[in-house]
Structure 1
Amino acid sequence: MDKEQIERVIEEIKSSGSLEMFGDIIEALQQPIFTYCYHMLGHRQEAEDAVQEVFIKAYEHIDKYTKSDSFSAWVYKIAYHHCLNLINRRKLYRMVPFLKRGMAAVSQNEGEIRVDHEQVSYPLHQAMSRLSAEDRNLIILRVIEEKGYEELSVLLNKKPATLRKQYERALRKCKHYLQLQKGGEVNEAYKAIR
């Protein structure tokens, strides 16, 4: 489904509220949004849950969507803010240990820290996880999602030149974190972001 078709379907959904038609939109955008959430959060299950929440929010607030942005850019913005909230919640749980005592402990062996090696190598994932959510977001959108600076400008509400500089700084940080690691897999990860 191309952008024009999506826009037509969105207009019909706005007038009819058709959940069935929104299913077509989900089908068209689900995989890219999942990939984005997965790289932001680093956990498959969290990303799957996040994608569901993002599309629920998009449907619930579809009347707020305007054609000034593309619909996919609007959904990416929802995904970014949702992932950012999840990341901030994680930080809160780390900062307030007594909150975690009452919660059931989840084993890391249960897939909590699974990394899809087809998408990004483990050393690169480790290096990216040390970046701020904003820097990680920019790298994911630029490298993995292959968004241009003009499109990123619309998504992130910043000038393309500003984003280019921010991206270069984020890449330098990521490369620095990769250099701190050792091993052959690190060399492959380093080449991936060059």
Structure 2
Amino acid sequence: MAWAGEADSERVRVFGELLAECHRDLFGFIYSMVQHHSDAEDVYQQVALVLWRKFDDFELGTNFAAWATKVAHLTARDFIRSRRRNAVAFSDEVLEAIASTYNPGKSWRSDDTSDALSTCLGKLPAKDRKLVEQCYSPGRDYGRIAQQHGRSVGAIYQAISRVRKSLYYCVKRTLAQEAY
């Protein structure tokens, strides 16, 4: 929409209202991709800046949440790619699966997701559950974890990637069953 002739304060107000309406869902979507609260906050801020810079391109009356989600998906993907060398991260395939199942019109229920994840973690074999706990604990050291398991760091990355994919599909199935 062209904002020429309209007060900048009206533009700010409209943008703020649209962003506020989808804030919770958008943040939840970003968090589901980056898996760390502080990273999700950083990415959310980047997304908000991109949305503001490109707000003149947004057509009022269309789906702001869907537009914001697409920007968030691309921004989170770039964020993850930039950090992939230093940490375990979802593959592009898993990120695409998360993005494709996200519905910006549907309310984000983090409690349901957390409950499903807890259930799925409980179903993991003990060795996989221990690996998840080690890889997601504060101050984790993948070299030390690999040494404890008698494996290479690359093997640990592959193992945790396999477990995360398994958890992702388990949570997805669990939430789908609860929807009926």
Query: With structure 2 as the length reference, what TM-score do the two structures score?
Result: 0.51
Deviations 1:162-194 (A, max 9, x none): xxxxxxxxxxxxxxx98x9326x97x8463355
Corresponding letter in the other structure for 2:174: K
Map 1:166-177 to 2 at 5 A: none
Which of 29, 32, 38 in structure 2 is aligned with 1:39? 32
Shift of 1:32: 0.8
Corresponding letter in the other structure for 1:30: H
Partner of 2:116: none
Which of 43, 66, 77 in structure 2 is aligned with 1:50? 43
Give the 3 Å change call, closer, same or farther, for CA 21–68 of structure 1 in structure 2: closer
- Report if the CA contact (8 A) 2:51-2:71 is conserved: yes
Aligned length, in residue pairs: 120
Deviations 1:48-73 (A, max 9, x none): 12122211111111111235952221
Which of 2, 7, 25 in structure 2 is aligned with 1:16? 7
Q: What are structure 1's unaligned runs of at least 5 residues?
A: 1-9, 95-112, 114-125, 148-176
- Report if the CA contact (8 A) 1:13-1:22 is conserved: no
Partner of 1:108: none
Distance in structure 1 (CA, Å) of the matches to 2:22 and 2:7: 21
Give the 3 Å change call, closer, same or farther, for CA 72–146 of structure 1 in structure 2: closer
Map 1:10-159 to 2 at 5 A: 15-18=6-9, 19-66=12-59, 69-93=62-86, 129=90, 131-139=93-101, 141=102, 146=106
Q: What are structure 2's unaligned runs of at least 5 residues?
A: 108-119, 130-166
Give the 3 Å change call, closer, same or farther, for CA 13–63 of structure 1 in structure 2: same
Distance in structure 2 (CA, Å) of the matches to 1:68 and 1:23: 15
Percent identity over the alignment is 18
Give the 3 Å change call, closer, same or farther, for CA 72–15 of structure 1 in structure 2: farther
